[in-house]
Amino acid sequence: MKSERMTSFSQSTRKGCLAIVLAAGEGTRMKSARPKVLHEVAGRSMLGHVLAGVTEAGADQVAVVIGPDRADVSAEASRMVPGAQVFTQTQRLGTAHAVLAAREALAKGAQTLLVVFADTPLIRPQTYGALLDALAQGAGVAVLGFEARDPTGYGRLLSEGGELTAIREHKDANEAERKVTLCNAGLMAINGAQALSWLERIGNDNAQKEFYLTDIVSVARTSGAHAVAVIAPEDEVMGVNDRLQLAAAEAAYQTRLRDHAMREGATLVAPQTIFFSHDTQLGRDVVVEPGVIFGTGVRVGDGARINAYSHLLGATIEAGASVGPFARLRPGAKIGKGAKIGNFVEIKSAEIGEGAAVSHLTYLGDATIGARANIGAGTITCNYDGFDKFRTVIGEGAFIGSNSALVAPVTIGDGAYVGSGSVITKDVAPDALAVARGRQIAKEGWGKSFRASHEGKPKQRP
């Protein structure tokens, strides 16, 4: 068997590479109202992963083949790749038939064609690149293969004298062929000049009466072209048909993200307890304690620390800041350099200035907090009146006493103080002290006389 090792991979655009992404799967085994390819792995749809992969590998045209009435899949394709062409396969007559649904894109004459499945989300861009490299080295067809622990159900890569000769679908394979463990992952690169004529020669004389894309290997060889297999690890070619496989893909991808974070210089105290999104960015010397969950859109600067059991989504944390334990950062939270966000603090659409401290039990929403301000325990920005949201602005070095409610819109000036337990409804001038709470009164001996007036009375149980 002739197989190419993964070669070095150039990020440069591969001129004239058309990627056709098959996304017409019904996904009935997902038992979902959502089409299978829109289910997510690490915060991005499986279709999104595949589109990002082929684009990163350098495909400069993308066509997506979807099932009938799938505006949602079409929208996701356009969101990921604005220039993507979307085609509908009205009848599911096999993988070759699905590719031909994009005939119009094919007919424009791409140099190379990459055919990929949208339910195989873990393929690395380098692997797509290796398939294209195999074409550059003269192959007419390059198929992605893997050694299957259990080959049942997969197409088998058959060879003769070191040449890939055919792919035999499990249902069509004889006893000897079923013993082959080198399997077809489903994706391939095809010489663009010949792809259309080869695809048109594929018939459906097989067990499933389907037009198999895999038959392109024998068709290409009949016309004198060579076929090769590029081998990938099995965990990369994992396909998703049900929710168990979705969870397995998620687990494999999380392992990849954790390994990447650590290789790039972040300390993950207990890596298997930390969950990333596909786009999480961590700087050098970031420390992440156990149980932290990163939703999408989070960036953490160098040397910052994310303490245990914090939940972050759409947040930016600048260098040297510390967050948590048990903090919740929601979209638009921007934590400045060296700032401190402590336990049971929730922050949404709020900028926290450099070196500011929000140490405990606080909600800051729609706010701007100046550098070095101190926000006491239990501070709440009252930002919503049931209809609209309003902003709270707190100046540099201001001090908000514990258990204060700041009723927005409101501004606290630089260096101002707010007394504990205040309900602040009016702006506070710089360097002023505002106290907005009931004045304390004290009645000498009141307790004693109260008890005396109740002398001998039985106490109700509390």
**Could you list the active site residues?**
360
Q: What share of the chain is helix, strand, coil (3-state, %, to 5)?
A: 25, 30, 45
Binding segment toward ligand UD1, per CB under 6 A, in 43-51, 129-137, 184-192, 283-291? 184-192
Among the listed ranges 47-55, 93-101, 225-233, 386-394, the one in contact with ligand UD1 (CB under 6 A) is 93-101
For ligand UD1, give the closer residue by CB, 239 or 303: 239
Q: Which stretch binds ligand UD1 (CB under 6 A): 3-11, 206-214, 327-335, 437-445?
A: 206-214
Region of residue 102 (left: phi > 0; alpha: psi -120 to 50; beta: else):
alpha
Should residue 76 be labelled a site residue for ligand UD1 when binding is judged by CB under 6 A?
no
Rule CB under 6 A: is residue 218 a binding residue for ligand UD1?
no
Give yes or no for residue 349 binding ligand UD1 (CB under 6 A). Answer: no
Taking CB under 6 A as the rule, does residue 89 contact ligand UD1?
yes
Which long-range contacts (C-beta less than 8 Å, at least 24 apart) are formed by 29-35? 29/241, 29/242, 30/241, 30/242, 30/243, 30/246, 31/243, 34/72, 35/67, 35/70, 35/72, 35/73
Find the part of the chain contacting ligand UD1 (CB under 6 A) among 19-27, 193-201, 242-250, 451-459: 19-27
> Binding residues for ligand UD1, how many (CB under 6 A)?
26
The verdict on 41 binding ligand UD1 (CB under 6 A) reads no
Please name the amino acid found at residue 251.
A
Residue type, 58: G
Closer to ligand UD1 at the Cβ: 91 or 272?
Answer: 91
CB closer to ligand UD1 out of 9 and 212: 212
Q: Rounded to whole angstroms, how far apart are CA atoms 397 and 373?
A: 4
What is the rounded end-to-end Cα distance, in angstroms, of the chain? 83
Binding residue (CB under 6 A) for ligand UD1 from 14, 61, 113, 119 = 119
Q: What contacts 214, CB < 8 A, 6 or more positions away?
A: 95, 155, 167, 168, 169, 184
In the complex, least distance from residue 204 CB atom to ligand UD1, rounded to whole angstroms: 11
- Tell me: does residue 294 bind ligand UD1 (CB under 6 A): no
**How far from 363 is each of 306, 399, 404, CA to CA, in Å?**
18, 16, 11
183 binds ligand UD1 (CB under 6 A): yes
According to the binding rule CB under 6 A, does residue 55 interact with ligand UD1? no
Binding test (CB under 6 A) with ligand UD1, winner from 40, 76, 133, 169: 169
**96 CA to centre of own chain:** 30
Of 112-120, 189-197, 341-349, 412-420, the segment contacting ligand UD1 by CB under 6 A is 112-120
Site for ligand UD1, residues 351 to 380, rule: CB under 6 A: none
User: Does residue 184 belong to the site contacting ligand UD1 (CB under 6 A)?
Assistant: yes
- Residue 378 CA to residue 111 CA, distance in Å, equals 63
Give the separation between CA 136 and CA 430, rounded to whole angstroms. Answer: 69
| Cβ neighbours of 307 (radius 10 Å) | 21
- As measured in angstroms, the least distance from the Cβ of 26 to ligand UD1 is 7
Alpha helices in 264-292 (DSSP H): none
Q: How far apart are CA 297 and CA 81, in angstroms?
A: 18
Residue 6 near ligand UD1 by CB under 6 A: no
Q: Min. distance of Cβ 45 from ligand UD1 in angstroms?
A: 13
Task: Indicate which single residue of 16, 125, 239, 297 sits in contact with ligand UD1 (rule: CB under 6 A).
Answer: 239
- Amino acid making up residue 190: I
For residue 146, what is the DSSP state? E
Nearer to ligand UD1, 77 or 373 (CB): 77
Tracing tokens 């003269």 back to the chain, one arrives at 138
117 contributes a contact to ligand UD1 by CB under 6 A = yes
Contacts with ligand UD1 by CB under 6 A lie at 22, 24-25, 65, 89, 92-95, 97-98, 117-119, 154-155, 167, 169, 183-186, 212-214, 239
